[in-house]
Amino acid sequence: MNASSLMSGVLAPVVTPFKDDYTPDRDRYLKHCQWLAAQNCGLAVFGTNSEANSLSIDERMSLLDMLVEGGVDPTRMMPGTGCCSIPDTVKLTKHAVDHGVGGVLMLPPFYYKNVSDEGLYRSFAEIIERVGDDRLRIYLYHFPQMSAVPLGIELVGRLQEAFPSIVVGMKDSSGDRENLEAMLRTFPGFGYFVGSEALLLANMRAGGVGCISATANINPASIDGLFQKWKTDEADALQESLNQVRGTVQQFPLVPALKTIISHYGSDSEWNRLRPPLVELDDTQGEKLIVDLQAIGFEMPGL
């Protein structure tokens, strides 16, 4: 495996705009992806913050087709493809690999709880065998607060050993700094992304490769700025500045907050719509969010 071909840097779990009948708004989606890509932001389409688990398999495939046809570079994409059932995960993963994506972000099957490492291993192994494609690059998605199915060191080790050129990295959204440091000590060179830019500097210093963060949807250039300069004297100050924006946004539920922000800064109320079971911020929350962002001088140039 050519290490230089692996993904790194800043990716956004791209938020998905919806029309008033809750169908994906393809034009706004493509435009947002192009805005992100223009700022050197990779596209982790169909992540948690994309409301991807509220989309059908067909909707996800159709949106990915549309992005590639629209000229977005697939090598900078890491679509989420992990579903509850093996056939669904295989279908999405094959489709993404055939588009030449840089990698896929794979949740474990997340309905059944307290499952064994053996069961999770069999699940990932079966998926890898059914996809049967050497181009496959899997980033395991560890997000115990949402999936309620954690991916521990033993399981990761077993998967890496069995599929060294395929299981190449991880997205860790646990927010647990000790976990990321333990993983990177155990698996040096693993393609380790943190799920929030608040841990970007810690991750890079521990040997990680970047972050896949919700707030990259609205603050991509600044987050990429830290990624570019993490070895410099400016790094701690840049991290501090990112934390200020992040802290302001995450006063509120993330997906509705992001859509409120894009809607406001893009002067486009159509963006402020979520597919159930998520709901938009109420007016008081939305106003406070924008006032607080303005107070710290936040802007979204070029949106």
Q: Is 146 in the site for a second copy (CB under 8 A)?
A: yes
154 interacts with a second copy by CB under 8 A: no
Region of 20 on the Ramachandran plot (φ > 0 left; ψ -120 to 50 alpha; else beta): alpha
Q: Counting contacts by CB under 8 A, is residue 112 touching a second copy? A: yes
What is the total count of residues that contact a second copy (CB under 8 A)? 39
Taking the C-alpha atoms of residue 205 and residue 185, their distance in angstroms, rounded to an integer, is 12
Pattern 38-77, a second copy, x by CB under 8 A: ----------x----xxxxxxx------------------
State in angstroms the smallest separation of the CB of 54 from a second copy. 5
Applying CB under 8 A, does 126 fall inside the site for a second copy? yes
Closer of 73 and 88 to a second copy (Cβ): 88
Q: Which is nearer to a second copy, 76 or 259 (CB)?
A: 259
For 147-212, give the DSSP string.
HS----HHHHHHHHHHSTTTEEEEEE-S--HHHHHHHHHHSTT-EEEESSGGGHHHHHHHT--EEE
User: Residue 213 interacts with a second copy (CB under 8 A)?
Assistant: no
Q: Which stretch binds a second copy (CB under 8 A): 104-112, 213-221, 240-248, 263-271?
A: 104-112
First to last CA, the chain: 38
- Find the shortest distance in angstroms from Cβ 145 to a second copy: 7
Question: Which H or E run contains 27?
Answer: helix 26-37
Q: How far apart are CA 105 and CA 170, in angstroms?
A: 8
Nearest in space to 170 (alpha carbons), one of 187, 158, 185: 187
Asked if 147 touches a second copy (CB under 8 A), the answer is yes
Closest to a second copy by CB, 17 vs 109, is 109
- Considering the rule CB under 8 A, would residue 86 count as an interface residue with a second copy? yes
Q: Closest Cα to residue 210, out of 21, 34, 89, 40?
A: 40
> Of 61 and 72, which CB lies nearer to a second copy in the complex structure?
61
Q: How many CB atoms lie within 10 A of CB 200?
A: 25
Q: Could you tell me how far CA 164 lies from the centroid of its own chain?
A: 22
Residues that bind a second copy (CB under 8 A): 22, 48, 53-59, 84-88, 91, 108-113, 115-116, 118-120, 122-123, 126, 145-149, 275-279
